[in-house]
Amino acid sequence: EEHIEALLVKVNNLEKQKSRLQSEVEVLIIDLEKANNTARELQKRVEQLERINIELKSRLDETIQLYDQAQRDLRNKQAELQRLSHELDKAREQRDALARENKKLADDLGDARNTITELT
């Protein structure tokens, strides 16, 4: 009879332990479902961020191309500006030379008129 009572106590303890373990398993299942949901949400976020990253990389590549083209255009414009500046300097020198020549010719014309006036 003591043996039966000991077995009943043991069975009762095992049932309590089984009940406690079932509760723990249910809590673990709930935690697992939450973790799976979080993992799915994080995976969606990763995919979204990867799409954004690809778009940003594309924009960066486009911006780099535009920058490179702008740099080439700038160098071309600087070369053209230097060429035009040189041409302007030459034109000013020619203008000054022509102005000096014009003054000389005007002086010569004035002298010639004075000479003609004196001779007549």
Q: Give the tens place of pLDDT for each residue, 15-63.
A: 999 999 999 999 999 999 999 999 999 999 999 999 999 999 999 999 9
Half-sphere exposure (CA, 13 Å, Cβ side) for 43? Answer: 6
The vertex-48 CA angle with 46 and 51, nearest 5°, equals 110
Q: Mean pLDDT in the chain?
A: 98
pTM: 0.58
pLDDT tens digit string along 60-95? 999 999 999 999 999 999 999 999 999 999 999 999
Task: Return the SS3 of 1.
Answer: coil
